[in-house]
Amino acid sequence: MTYVSTNPADLNDVVARVDLVGAEEFADAARLARRAQREWAGVPAPVRGQVVANIGRLVEANAEALARVVTREIGKPLAEARGEVQEIADTCAFFVGEGRRLYGQTVPSEMPDKQLFTFRNPVGVTAFITAGNFPVAVPSWYIVPALLCGNTVVWKPAEYSAAAAQAFYDIFTAAGLPEGVLNIVFAEGSQTYRGLELALERGLVDKVGFTGSSEVGALIGELCGRHLQSPCLELGGKNPMVITEDADLDLAVQGALFSGFGTGGQRCTSLGTAIVHESVHDEFLRRFAQATENAVVGDPFGDVLYGPMLDGKFAVGFEKYLGWIRDHHTVHGSTGVGRITESNPRKGFLGDPDGGLFYHPVIVAGVRPDDEVFRHETFGPLVGVTSYRELDQAVELANLPGYGLSSAIYTTDPGKVFAFRSGIGAGMVSVNNSTSGAEAHLPFGGNGRSGNGSRQSGVWVLDQFTRWQSVNWDYSGALQKAQVDTPAI
Ligand code: UN1
């Protein structure tokens, strides 16, 4: 079966065609990765680091071309696509040095003439299933450290970002990865699941990473759990932004605009609900609605806040929430809408199959805790706004949907920052900044419906892609039994 990836800003523009594989071929890719793994693990870690350095250099040399593929294929504004490509280079820069570290420890023994050590071993074969909203940066968060640690990889990118994924793969392999070390497969969802199941049953995969929806993440988690594996799960978010009575409101508006509508709200870290102190709620809403109305949506190669939806299936998913609003906005709340650029007359017709997948930004004021748009990730340009009286109540509202990825507080009061930080269930907290826009060396990940506590990026990620091995070495020449023969004082 062939998948045709189209430009979401112009559905007649075909960007790539890729062959989709079945479950058996998915498992075959894992077999190739298994075959290549021992040899790759035998390459000294500093040399693997050099390969990572080569990848970084090649990414930089091809940055503009890669960014343009990303923009054309998923409609992400070019400036953001450039940033995303930079994130791969940053990830490489960070992990090059880890190739010369990958430290173990020497540990004292409780007995004489005996020494204890720890070593980091690669986990083996890793399998990554990634989303298309960050078609190159997020895969690099998995693939770069996994390779550096001596693992081989099977990678199943989203089909709708196939051209970006293929360009990424070509750069990585050109940097000097031996055959079988990085394997790319495209497959439709059920075949991917079945392929992973087969690979796990056959003992061909040792660690799974999945970035995508909480619903699919739960299925992957269950599957891995049956094989006693703990995957990295980076799932959805309903990320709150609390705006206190002492906040700089203009800054908060800028933050809400970018967090909520940047990338068309299609980041797992996008703002879900702004929770605003009642004394500044009306003023915030007025300024936010004004800024939203002035926002320009359109050609992602132009100077716009955001472009089209990533792909038709996200447009369909988002329509569901727009339907909910149509049914409910007369009951409570109101909606503000932005404008769509008219620079290209073919664009901007909502729901026009010949136009792009463009949607107005939507603010749902007066959103309530039992509303569907309060509880669920909408993955589109929609921000709810509500108010609170006491900070405790704001934190409670922020935690209510049960996700726990990102969050933000806008305040000038350090006491409120710490109260928020310790009360919020999110893995990430921004202070006077956007809920999105992670840096490549800080742990990234969530709790609750956003993930199982695994983290990506930074030095902490080494614990996902290596396993500790303890070694005890007795050179006393006698059988010294721990505890029994431990010298007494
Ligand atoms: C995602 O949406 O899956 O924090 C990841 C950010 C990005 C990563 C988002 N750098 O916005």
Pocket probe for ligand 1: among 310, 436, 450, 455, the residue whose CB has the most ligand atoms within 8 Å is 436
Residue 195: pLDDT band (50, 70, 90) is very high
Residue type, 356: G
- The bridge status of strand 296-297 relative to strand 339-340 is parallel
Lowest mean pLDDT among 41-45, 316-320, 480-484: 316-320
pLDDT at 339: 38
Please indicate, yes or no, whether residues 149 and 251 belong to a single structural domain of this protein: no
Residue 38 resides in a domain: yes
CA of 146 to the centre of ligand 1 (A): 19
Residue 484 resides in a domain: no
What ipTM is given for this predicted complex? 0.92
Does 140 contact ligand 1 (Cβ within 6 A)? Answer: no
DSSP state of 64: H
Residue 46 resides in a domain: yes
Does 130 contact ligand 1 (Cβ within 6 A)? Answer: no
Does 438 contact ligand 1 (Cβ within 6 A)? Answer: yes
Which whole number is the average pLDDT over 88-103?
A: 97
> Is residue 353's pLDDT more than 60?
no
Which whole number is the average pLDDT over 74-85?
A: 98
The mean of the pLDDT values for the chain is: 93
Does 378 contact ligand 1 (Cβ within 6 A)? Answer: no
pLDDT at 337: 42
Q: Which atom of ligand 1 is nearest the CA belonging to 267?
A: 2
CA of 380 to the centre of ligand 1 (A): 14
Partners of 469 in the β-ladder: 119
pLDDT at 11: 87
pLDDT at 351: 45
> Is residue 333's pLDDT more than 50?
no
Alpha-carbon distance 322 to 333, whole Å?
A: 14
Exactly one of 159, 197, 234, 377 is catalytic; name it.
234
Please indicate, yes or no, whether residues 314 and 299 belong to a single structural domain of this protein: yes
Partners of 182 in the β-ladder: 153
pLDDT at 322: 81
| CA distances, 477 to each of 114, 191, 250, 409 (Å) | 10, 56, 73, 62
CB atoms within 10 A of CB 207: 24
CA of 141 to the centre of ligand 1 (A): 11
Alpha-carbon distance 67 to 74, whole Å?
A: 11
Which whole number is the average pLDDT over 344-368?
A: 65
Residue 332: pLDDT band (50, 70, 90) is very low
Does 436 contact ligand 1 (Cβ within 6 A)? Answer: yes
Buried b (16+ CB within 10 A) or exposed e, 455-474: bbbbebbbebbbeeeeeeeb
Please tell me the total count of domains within the chain.
2
Which of these three, 382, 402, 431, is where a domain ends?
431
pLDDT at 355: 64
Residue 296 resides in a domain: yes
pLDDT at 364: 86
Does 138 contact ligand 1 (Cβ within 6 A)? Answer: yes
Please indicate, yes or no, whether residues 213 and 319 belong to a single structural domain of this protein: no
Residue 438 resides in a domain: no
Are the C-beta atoms of 453 and 447 separated by less than 8 Å?
yes
CB atoms within 10 A of CB 223: 18
Residue 289 resides in a domain: yes
Please indicate, yes or no, whether residues 288 and 146 belong to a single structural domain of this protein: no
> Is residue 155's pLDDT more than 80?
yes
Q: In terms of Cα–Cα distance, which of 352, 266, 344 is closest to 305?
A: 266
Please indicate, yes or no, whether residues 314 and 226 belong to a single structural domain of this protein: no
Q: At what angle do helices 23-42 and 189-201 cross, to 10 degrees?
A: 50
Does 310 contact ligand 1 (Cβ within 6 A)? Answer: no
Does 269 contact ligand 1 (Cβ within 6 A)? Answer: yes
CA of 252 to the centre of ligand 1 (A): 20
Does 464 contact ligand 1 (Cβ within 6 A)? Answer: no
> Is residue 200's pLDDT more than 60?
yes
pLDDT at 348: 40
Please indicate, yes or no, whether residues 96 and 43 belong to a single structural domain of this protein: yes
Instruction: Look at ligand 1, atom 6, and give the residue with the nearest C-alpha.
Output: 437
CA of 88 to the centre of ligand 1 (A): 13
Are the C-beta atoms of 452 and 221 separated by less than 8 Å?
yes
Domain containing 119 equals 2-236+450-472
110 included as an active-site residue: no
Q: Which atom of ligand 1 is nearest the CA belonging to 428?
A: 4
Which whole number is the average pLDDT over 258-268?
A: 97
CA of 267 to the centre of ligand 1 (A): 6
pLDDT at 329: 54
Q: In terms of Cα–Cα distance, which of 279, 267, 281 is closest to 367?
A: 281
Please indicate, yes or no, whether residues 279 and 301 belong to a single structural domain of this protein: yes
Please indicate, yes or no, whether residues 209 and 273 belong to a single structural domain of this protein: no
Domain of residue 99, CATH code: 3.40.605.10
Q: Which uninterrupted H or E stretch holds 129?
A: strand 125-129
Residue 444 resides in a domain: no
Note the pLDDT tens digit of each residue in 367-425.
Answer: 899 999 999 999 999 999 999 999 999 999 999 999 999 999 999 999 999 999 999 99
Pocket probe for ligand 1: among 268, 270, 450, the residue whose CB has the most ligand atoms within 8 Å is 268
CA of 204 to the centre of ligand 1 (A): 29
Domain of residue 309, CATH code: 3.40.309.10
Does 216 contact ligand 1 (Cβ within 6 A)? Answer: no
Please indicate, yes or no, whether residues 232 and 245 belong to a single structural domain of this protein: no
Give 67-91 as a DSSP string. HHHHHHHH---HHHHHHHHHHHHHH
Please indicate, yes or no, whether residues 154 and 13 belong to a single structural domain of this protein: yes
Instruction: Look at ligand 1, atom 3, and give the residue with the nearest C-alpha.
Output: 268
pLDDT at 345: 33
Please indicate, yes or no, whether residues 268 and 334 belong to a single structural domain of this protein: yes
> Is residue 334's pLDDT more than 70?
no
Does 22 contact ligand 1 (Cβ within 6 A)? Answer: no
Please indicate, yes or no, whether residues 336 and 320 belong to a single structural domain of this protein: yes
Which whole number is the average pLDDT over 325-329?
A: 69
CA of 318 to the centre of ligand 1 (A): 19
Residue 483 resides in a domain: no
CA dihedral of residues 186, 192, 194, 197 (deg, nearest 10): 110
pLDDT at 354: 53
Pocket probe for ligand 1: among 84, 444, 454, 455, the residue whose CB has the most ligand atoms within 8 Å is 444
Positive or negative CA dihedral for 351, 352, 357, 363? Answer: negative
